[in-house]
Amino acid sequence: MSLRNELREPSGEALPYDWNTWIENVIPAANGIHSKNPDALIFFGGLNYNLDNSYFIENQTWNGATFTPSSYAFEEKLVYEVHNYQNSAESCDDMRPGLYDDAYCAMNLSDPACPNHGPTVMTEFGFDQTDGSYTRPYAQCIKSVVTEQPGGPGGWIQWALGGSYYTRQGTQDFEETWGLLNHDWSDWRNQSVIDNYIKPWVQATL
């Protein structure tokens, strides 16, 4: 169970958007899920469009509030999730440090900077399927980071599968060029991506 997709800052409203608000809402939600189904894995995402998990993996204190997994019954069922869309990155050096500090540090049991250890899943990333984007630094770096982390490989979910929408952004039958499937969902949009990127990565992270 994912608690909420991409906690985003409210637009034009005087509502708090900080780690205290996060902990005040996420913990009761996780407790509720765990009380109903103690076997369910619970995915925890951070702030800034789910890019930043530093507060809860680093055991930081924010205005007196600290996330301490051992304090909760769901301690053994939490999974950290992260998103990334740094498609303009020119090299993996532009991405790897931030991904580690804000998320994958949690998988390194020997790194005391992130004492709240746990599995970390890249639950959103993606790129255009109509060209050679899969060969560029962004796609290749996501693949290597997820595969090569200490304690890994990590899990991953690519945006997106479907090749079109009933309606999106006010347009009916909207084309999703990032979709792995073609417009009518009858075949892969780009077989080269599947053969040279997706299939090898699946095998590497089984």
For the chain, give every domain's residue range. 19-157+190-204
pTM: 0.93
pLDDT given at position 25 = 92
Q: Is the pLDDT of residue 7 over 80?
A: yes
Handedness of CA 48, 129, 206, 184 (dihedral sign): positive
Number of Cβ atoms within 10 Å of the Cβ of 127: 21
Burial class (CB in 10 A: 0-12, 13-18, 19+), 136: middle
3-12, 81-90, 139-148: range with lowest mean pLDDT: 3-12
Cβ 67 vs Cβ 108: under 8 Å:
no
Lookup result for tokens 């540090």? 105
In the prediction, which pLDDT does 4 show?
83
Please give the angle made by the CA atoms of 59, 71 and 81, to the nearest 5 degrees: 55
Please compute the mean of the pLDDT values over residues 53-73 and round it to a whole number. 95
Write out pLDDT tens, residues 138-196.
999 999 999 998 888 999 999 999 999 999 999 999 999 999 999 999 999 999 999 99
Q: Is 149 or 93 the better-scoring residue by pLDDT?
A: 93
Measured distance CA(133)–CA(46) in Å, rounded: 27
Asked whether the beta carbons of 122 and 82 are under 8 A apart, the reply is yes
pLDDT tens profile 10-49 = 887 778 899 999 999 999 999 999 999 999 999 999 999 9
Side chain identity at 108, as an amino acid letter? N
Q: What is the phi/psi pair of residue 123, to 5°?
A: -90, -5
Distance CA 147, CA 127 (A): 18
Hey, how many other C-beta atoms are within 10 angstroms of the C-beta on 148?
13
**pLDDT confidence tier of residue 197, bands split at 50, 70 and 90:** very high
pLDDT of residue 64: 92
Rounded Cα gap, residues 152 and 119, in angstroms: 8
3-class state of residue 93 by DSSP: helix
User: What distance in Å separates the CA atoms of residue 106 and residue 88, rounded to the nearest whole number?
Assistant: 26
Collect all residues with Cβ–Cβ distance below 8 Å to 44 and sequence separation of at least 6.
3, 26, 30, 53, 56, 78, 79, 80, 81
